[in-house]
Each structure stands twice: as C-alpha cells, then as structure tokens.
Structure 1
Amino acid sequence: MSTAAPAASSAAADEAPPRAAASVVLLRDSADGLQVLLLQRHRDARVLGGLYVFPGGKVDPEDAAPEWVAHLDAPVGTLPARLGEPGLTPAAAQALYVAAARELWEEAGVALVDAPAALAALPAGAAAGGWRAQLAAAGVRLSTAALRPWSRWITPRNPPVGTPRFDTRFFLARLPAGAQVRHDAFEASDSLWLTPRAALQRYWAREIELIPPQLMGLAQLARHATVADAWAEAAGRTPPCIQPEQFRDGEHRAMCYPGDPLHPVAERALPGPTRLRLVQGRFEPFDGFAGWFA
C-alpha cells in the first residue's frame, strides 16, 4: 500500500486555513476565590478526547445567519470593534458571539440571555436554529454583553497534540445568578469548578489533562482574586492574538509565545511563562510548576 496519499493529505490539512471557533471561560466567585468551569471531553471524542477544556466549538454557518440580528441585544455592526478586530465583517463577528453562547448552552446548559429565568424550563442542547426559535418563544435575546472578549488563539501548523487547526476567540462570562451547570451526555463526561491554581495543581499531579490555551489561560486567571478583577482586566485591553511558534529543546518539542526571544512578536501578550516544552506527554514551563506564576 502506498503511503504517499496520506502524507499529501496531512500536508494539505496542515496548510488549510484554521477553522473559526469560539470558547467561553465561565467564571464564578466562591469562598476559595475565583473559579473556572472545565468540561472533560468524552474519551472517544475525535478531537481532544479525555481532555479538560473550556466549553466551546467550531463556528457553524448558521451562526452567521441574518435571522439572528433580531435576537441579539446589540447591533451586529458594533461587534467587530468589541472583539478588537475592525477588519471582521459584522456577520463574522456575530457568528463568533452566537457560537460561543450556543456552545455554552449545548455543552453546559447555561444560557447567556437578557432574561435567564425565562429559559429555566427549556431543554438544553438544542441545535442553533432550534435554539433561536426557543429564544424567540421565550421572548428573550442572546446577551452579547454577557460575553467579554478575552483572547484569540491560532493553532500552529503541525500541532504537538495532533488536533485540527482552529482560530479560536475566547470570551469571559459570569455564571448567571441561579444558573446551574448541566454538562451534556454526548460531548462531555465530567465538569469541574476549580480555582485556576487548583486546576494547574491537578494538572501537575497528572490528575487531569489540559492543553496550552487552557493552561496559559489558567495561569492568567490565577492573578485574579474575583470575577470582577478578571472582567476589568479584559475590559482594559484589546484581546491579544496568540500564535505559538514551535522549536526544539534538545529531545523535547517546545513552543513559545509573544514576548519570548524566539517569537517574532516582541511584545508580551500574557502573564506567566513565554515558553512551554512537551515532557512525557505534558506541557510544562521550563522552570517547573512555579513558572506558571512567574
């Protein structure tokens, strides 16, 4: 059997543009401080099976449908600027907001709408078009104001974990008052509320599996004691665009981020380490666990 075709297919996939995606970093305050929601993807999932992630997924064409305009709490023309991406079309920006809210609803049962109580009796997990119909029936609109743009991550070519390439916008959101997380039985097998430091500690102990966007996000959130602190920090800056650069550190694969001497972008985009290396299947700072908080 020839191996040329798979190699060509892999190369073509590596050169294909990354697919647009959206993810929600859902936060709440607790007696232990700020906590973040992590969902475990089912072990047999095609992408990131078994790993803990923030709720999210790829943008669907229906997320950009003009019918959504009447079901948003803000004019779509204002959304590119909110994202810090004035070059985006309003429809593309709308699709990112709708995808983020839709994925949170489908995967965690949390509705970001202007009257959350009105959706209490509605089933979670509806497809995008069906969900829009539910919002209309309940007389509520999707709350773009509940989503605070936070960062943009572009998967590098030939990613170390072998996932498809995505261009993902991450949004912060507060858990609405009275809302309860109900992870679905299809895409997620577990849900955890953890402080960022506790999540990193469990990762370091190899109790949970995470990938760099989640790891670096947790390191960033670990600097904040409350949801209000994190929200204010996100409001005070343009969401950074992070495209990791890969390199070799001896026998290990490694990647660096803006601000690292090996990265083409000189300005630091995030607190925490500017480079990670892959050691025995785990990404870690070069100076160990303490490096998450450097």
Structure 2
Amino acid sequence: MANGQGQAGSDRLIPAATILLLRDGMEGLEVFMVVRHHQIDFASGALVFPGGKVDKLDMAPAVRERADGMDGLDDWEFSMRVAAIREAFEESGVLLARSEQTGSIIDAGRLKGLEHYRDPLNRGEVGIADFLAREGLRLAGDMLTPFAHWITPNMMPKRFDTRFYLANAPEDHLAVHDGSESVDSVWIRPDIALREAEEGKRTIIFPTRMNVEKLGHSPNVSHAIETAKKTPVVTVEPQVTKNEKGEPILRIPAEAGYSVTDEPLSAVANVAKPKAG
C-alpha cells in the first residue's frame, strides 16, 4: 500500500477510510450502505459505504493504548483504521469496540447507551481517545481486514486517499443512517445493488461500484474476509487516457483484480440522480 507520500498531487490528498460492514442474509452476503445527503459536496445522493476523513484526534497517542490488533502499524495506517471504526459508529451506529472489563464486543444494550456520542464525535467536540477512556472501551481493530485502496484521479478538485476495510458486523448492533450526512440506509446483496444501479434506481460512483462487484464474488462473510486476507491490496489511482477510438477513459491497473480496467470518462463524470419511479 502507498502511504500517501510521493503520489502525484499528494499535498492535496485527504486521508479517508471506509468500512464494508458485512452480514450473512437469508439469500447470501449482504453489505450495509448509506445514501449520501444531497447537500454534501462529494458523491451527493450516492449509495456508499459508511466512512469519511481522518481526524487529527484519530492520531492521538492515547488511542494506541486502547486499540486491539493494531500493534506495529505506522501512524498513517493506524489512523486510517481508527477513522474507519469511528466513522462507522458516527454514520451507522455500529461500534467495533470491546468492553475493557469483559474483553467482549459490546452488546446492543451497551451500544444504546453510547448513542449520544455519535454527534459530538462527528462535530469534533469529543475525541475518540476521550470517548474510549470515559466509557472503558477498546477499539476492535483486529476485526478489520484491508480490502482496497483508492486514490482520487489528479484531475479532480478534491482528492481522497481512501482505505477500504471489511468487517463482520456484530449481530445485535442495529445499523442505521445518521440522518445528516446520510439520509437512508440499506442492507443489500452486491448483485442487487449493481442491478439497481444499472436500472437507474440508485447512483453508485465508480470506485464504490468496483468494490461492490469485487465483494460480490464471495457467497458469505467468511469467504469474503478469508479471500481479502490472502489477496494483496493494490493501490488504484485511475489515470485519464484515451482508448483505441480516441475516447477519454479512466484506466485502473489490471493487477488490482477488478472486472474492468477501463471506464468511459463520461460515465464517471456524469453521476446522475436516480430515475424517478
């Protein structure tokens, strides 16, 4: 993985992280996705995974004292995983954390009592280290499996350096959108998400679509996580070029393991709102 240094336009890259929360549904693997608020300047109205920017408080030394499974990570990768867990809590209400007293993942009852922290964390009024210390919690970083790494093309005015992680969602945690950054949410099979996007019922931007499709190769949570553990993550920074017809395209590396390597630039740039009906 690249660490955000030495990339083209790296001084403008915004570190970000996202989690693909997974569960086994009645008909196969499901992933939790939220619909972005239409007033948000990036991917507005799109179906995305919970996630967001790394906060400077995610890098506080005190966080390391309350994190499981993240020993030996450099500051960059550590902060990404902290941000992924924090953002999932803020946006979906799912918290990958253990009770310091029991060593077990917190249950639904305990989670309900922590609900009031979601907004203060989102607004930066409470840092993640203070939250964990107050409530006697430890981040379950060992529940995260690296899945993908995408960097926004350098033609874009706002560029993100984003890590994608897989996590098996605790069974009794009720995932629900926050009502501000995201206005709707759904547990959905990857094939259904792709079909509804094809039919114009949903908007899914290119990186999300590629990772939904990649996830869809697994029939269940266990397979998805085990496959990710065995598969090296290849950084994807789409390059603007032209195909043999002279049409502008985005090209991604074949070794990243996605079904396509070229995407028409018009399809990427034209993120239309879903059709009515």
Aligning the two structures, in what range does the TM-score lie when normalised by the shorter sequence?
0.7 to 0.9
Match of 2:141 in 1: 144
Match of 1:20 in 2: 15
Match of 2:151 in 1: 154
What SS does the aligned partner of 1:142 have? strand
For residues 214 and 97 of structure 2, what CA distance do their matches in structure 1 show?
A: 27
What's the CA shift for 1:138? 2.8
Match of 1:6 in 2: none
Cα separation, partners in 2 of 1:15 and 1:196, compared to 1, 3 Å:
same
What SS does the aligned partner of 1:171 have? strand
TM-score in terms of structure 2 length: 0.83
What's the CA shift for 1:239? 1.6
Residue 61 of structure 1, aligned match among 45, 51, 56: 56
Q: CA RMSD in A?
A: 2.1
Cα separation, partners in 2 of 1:94 and 1:53, compared to 1, 3 Å:
same
The answer to whether the 8 A contact 2:58-2:127 is kept is no
Match of 1:212 in 2: 206
The answer to whether the 8 A contact 1:21-1:56 is kept is yes
For residues 15 and 227 of structure 1, what CA distance do their matches in structure 2 show?
A: 34
Instruction: Give the letter for the 1:40 counterpart.
Output: V
Residue 95 of structure 2, aligned match among 104, 111, 126: 111
Map residues 1-294 of structure 1 onto 2, 5 A cutoff: 16-74=11-69, 76-77=71-72, 79=73, 90-114=74-98, 115-117=105-107, 118-123=110-115, 124-127=118-121, 129-159=126-156, 164-249=158-243, 252-259=247-254, 268-279=255-266
For residues 189 and 75 of structure 1, what CA distance do their matches in structure 2 show?
A: 32
The answer to whether the 8 A contact 2:57-2:128 is kept is no
Cα separation, partners in 2 of 1:282 and 1:206, compared to 1, 3 Å:
farther
CA deviation profile, 1:199-236 (whole Å, cap 9, x unmatched): 00010011111111111101111111001110001111
Match of 2:102 in 1: none
What's the CA shift for 1:237? 2.2
What's the CA shift for 1:62? 1.0
- The number of equivalent residue pairs is 249
What SS does the aligned partner of 2:150 have? strand
The answer to whether the 8 A contact 1:252-1:279 is kept is no
Question: Where does structure 1 differ by over 3 angstroms across 4 or more consecutive aligned residues?
Answer: 13-17, 128-132, 248-253, 278-283
What's the CA shift for 1:133? 2.9
What's the CA shift for 1:148? 0.7
For residues 125 and 64 of structure 1, what CA distance do their matches in structure 2 show?
A: 20
What's the CA shift for 1:140? 1.9
What's the CA shift for 1:119? 2.9
What SS does the aligned partner of 2:228 have? helix
The answer to whether the 8 A contact 2:149-2:233 is kept is yes
For residues 55 and 10 of structure 2, what CA distance do their matches in structure 1 show?
A: 21
For residues 266 and 200 of structure 2, what CA distance do their matches in structure 1 show?
A: 12
The answer to whether the 8 A contact 1:14-1:158 is kept is no
For residues 247 and 120 of structure 1, what CA distance do their matches in structure 2 show?
A: 49
What's the CA shift for 1:151? 1.1
What's the CA shift for 1:282? 5.3
What SS does the aligned partner of 2:256 have? coil
What SS does the aligned partner of 1:210 have? coil
What SS does the aligned partner of 1:126 have? helix
TM-score in terms of structure 1 length: 0.78
Question: Which structure has more RCO (C-alpha within 8 Å, separation ≥ 6)?
Answer: 2
What's the CA shift for 1:278? 4.0
